[in-house]
Amino acid sequence: MHEASNLVLERRFSSAIAEVHAKLLTGPWQVSILTTPQLRRYRNRGFQHGWRLVIPHGEGTLDFDVLVTEHFPHQPPRISLATLQRFLVWPHVEEDGVLCLLSSEATINSARPGEVTLSLLQDALQLVLESEIGNNQQDFRNEFTTYWGRKCPEQCIPVWSLLSPDQESRLIPFWSGKEFCLIGESTEQLEHWLNNATKKRISGSREYRQGILLPLPQLPCPKDFPKNGRDLIACIEQSNAKHLIESIHQEGLEGYLAVLAGKTPTGTAFGGVIARVQEKLRYPAERRGGSIIDGFRPGKAPKEVVQSQIKSSLSISLTTVERADALWIHGRGSDPKVKTLQSSTIAILGCGSIGSHLAFLLAEAGVGKLVLCDPEPLKWANVGRHALASDSVGTSKAKSLATTLKNSYPSSVGFDGYCKTWEGLASSMPEKLLTCDLLIAATGNWTTEASLNAWRKTADFRQPLLYCWAEAFAAAGHAIAIFPDDGCLQCGFSPLGLPKLSVTSWSEKTILQEAGCDTSFQPYGPIALSHIVSLAAELALDCLLGSVCESTERIWCGNKRLAKDNGGTWSEEWKSLVGDREQGSFTQELPWVPDKNCLECSFI
Ligand SMILES: [Zn+2]
């Protein structure tokens, strides 16, 4: 089977090559087939076949190579500047001359390899013409980060940036480690990040040094990237930061990090410049026992002399700067909602199979602060459907979840875990709950959630409260956001805690007891559950972002087979509500209607 399908691919390859060859012979150029040594010039590209085209161009000729891999015609051919070195001189030219003509998402018609090749040749020619008259230099600026990276030495230590992407020159602190450097707005911000990222093997001291941010009116093209200290000083002058650099260029300076910044169509981009001061100027004069500036006693050289000596002795190297700030991570810098989410706090009461995954989703979506509360340790039995894994067995679910999330999103504002019941947290640290923008109850326990429902009134908690739970086998699930003075949880439940509306009904008892202990559990799998987690997370965000402002219930009705295979069916009240949507797999939104006779609502 394998050999037969290989043979089909080989035939497809050969016939595509023949088709391209025939097409190329019709063009206004000379065609020859590339020899193996000529193909070998393109190292690590895997090109199997190629043609050299010599094209009349202006006064002379232009050489293109047309190159294909074994995956041709499913992968498009590549066109290369065969004899011209234009890497970082023209945009879209790689180091070996191969042109980037198609974006990575582009699709091609593999049934017409000849036409695809001719059309790419057209594009290549167009690129050459525009590059020759300098019409496309803006492309360099638009993809600044890519081209800057090409100029950085392979071994450079990357810089991760927590800077806010605004456009003001300023002094910025940075921390430098063995594997990466970190820059941010304040030493507190860097400290917070490093404390969160405990799994990053951060070695070295927590010493912070001074750097400088240089926003430029226009990002440079590769030919104008700084090559020496003089070029860096020119950048500093361009960004009106001369006054700042004077406070950095002091006697004894070893070096610093300068970060160039500028706008691109996809947000602010950064490039790093590591500046080093010549060794003989580095040490304070008194430590060297002599003057570092010729003709002056130690420490007595006039400021201007020190400044000009440092300026003329600077050497530089370039390094990549990757944005690691929350606005970039959670919305690529272009989602205005992330700002609101970053400043929001959600408490999750119950960090089990629903709560733990909810915490992950909300943190991933950009919620800046989470208060995680659960009195239980993680057990082996939990691992199959919990967001934490076996390395957390035996530890507090809430605390380990907070630690894991801090490591995953070290730029977040704050994830705190409390190994307590929610009642314990409410009595010992009530402000932790009262200052939240949203409380989520995911304990899966009626008694606990009924007392939370009562607490809301007595504590006068004025933010929405979201309850979520799964029906048996996670065949259906509920997320209910209840706003103050707009009904309560009890309104939709019997005094014994049975929901007035269930999606499924079961002929047998569905809650199981674990052998040898008094813990009961709902039998359901992680995949069925994921729909309910998403349902709750989506409603939580809608509450935070103001698109849901009154008490609302969202119900996930799972695939019918899941209920049926486990001995369940749709309940009569559900069927009368949704009609003939027998197959399931949909969400239904309903208003959460206050019950006039609700004892809890009329209480007090
Ligand atoms: Zn009520």
How does pLDDT run across 241-266, given as a tens digit for each residue? Answer: 888 888 887 777 788 999 999 999 88
Q: In what order do the strands lie in the sheet with 47-57?
A: 30-33, 47-57, 60-69, 78-81
CA of 20 to the centre of ligand 1 (A): 74
The yes-or-no verdict on residue 343 having pLDDT over 60 is yes
CA of 362 to the centre of ligand 1 (A): 28
CA of 553 to the centre of ligand 1 (A): 14
Query: Are residues 321 and 182 in contact, defined by beta-carbon separation less than 8 angstroms?
Result: no
CA of 593 to the centre of ligand 1 (A): 9
CA of 301 to the centre of ligand 1 (A): 79
Calculated CA dihedral for residues 138, 139, 142, 146, nearest 10 degrees: -130
The stretch 333-352 carries a mean pLDDT of 94
CA of 588 to the centre of ligand 1 (A): 22
pLDDT of residue 296: 67
pLDDT of residue 604: 44
CA of 591 to the centre of ligand 1 (A): 14
CA of 597 to the centre of ligand 1 (A): 8
Phi, psi of 514 (to 5 degrees): -75, 140
Which has the higher per-residue pLDDT, 494 or 311? 494
Is the domain defined by 334-602 classed in CATH 3.40.50.1100? no
pLDDT of residue 146: 92
The stretch 592-600 carries a mean pLDDT of 91
Q: What is the pLDDT of residues 130-155, one digit of tens each?
A: 999 999 999 999 999 999 999 999 88
CA of 574 to the centre of ligand 1 (A): 22
C-alpha angle 204-207-208 in degrees, rounded to nearest 5: 130
The stretch 336-351 carries a mean pLDDT of 96
The yes-or-no verdict on residue 382 having pLDDT over 90 is yes
Query: Are residues 73 and 57 in contact, defined by beta-carbon separation less than 8 angstroms?
Result: no
**Which pair of tokens denotes residue 497?**
């805690």
CA of 595 to the centre of ligand 1 (A): 6
Looking at the structure, give the CATH architecture of the domain made up of residues 2-135. Answer: Roll (3.10)
Whole-number Å distance between alpha carbons of 350 and 442 = 5
Instruction: Tell me if ipTM is over 0.85.
Output: yes
The yes-or-no verdict on residue 41 having pLDDT over 60 is yes
**536 — pLDDT class (breaks 50, 70, 90):** very high
The yes-or-no verdict on residue 551 having pLDDT over 80 is yes
Q: List helix spans (H) across 134-200.
A: 137-142, 144-151, 187-196
CA of 507 to the centre of ligand 1 (A): 30
The yes-or-no verdict on residue 72 having pLDDT over 80 is yes
Residue range(s) occupied by CATH 3.10.110 in the chain: 2-135
The yes-or-no verdict on residue 441 having pLDDT over 90 is yes
CA of 329 to the centre of ligand 1 (A): 40
CA of 596 to the centre of ligand 1 (A): 8
CA of 598 to the centre of ligand 1 (A): 5
pLDDT of residue 440: 98
User: Whose CA is closest to 567, among 506, 522, 477, 504?
Assistant: 506
SS3 299: coil
CA of 544 to the centre of ligand 1 (A): 23
8-state DSSP, 419: -
Residue range(s) occupied by CATH 3.40.50.720 in the chain: 334-602
**446 — pLDDT class (breaks 50, 70, 90):** very high
The yes-or-no verdict on residue 427 having pLDDT over 70 is yes
The yes-or-no verdict on residue 292 having pLDDT over 50 is yes
Q: How many residues make up the chain in this entry?
A: 604
- Minimum mean pLDDT range among 182-196, 291-305, 406-420, 451-465: 291-305
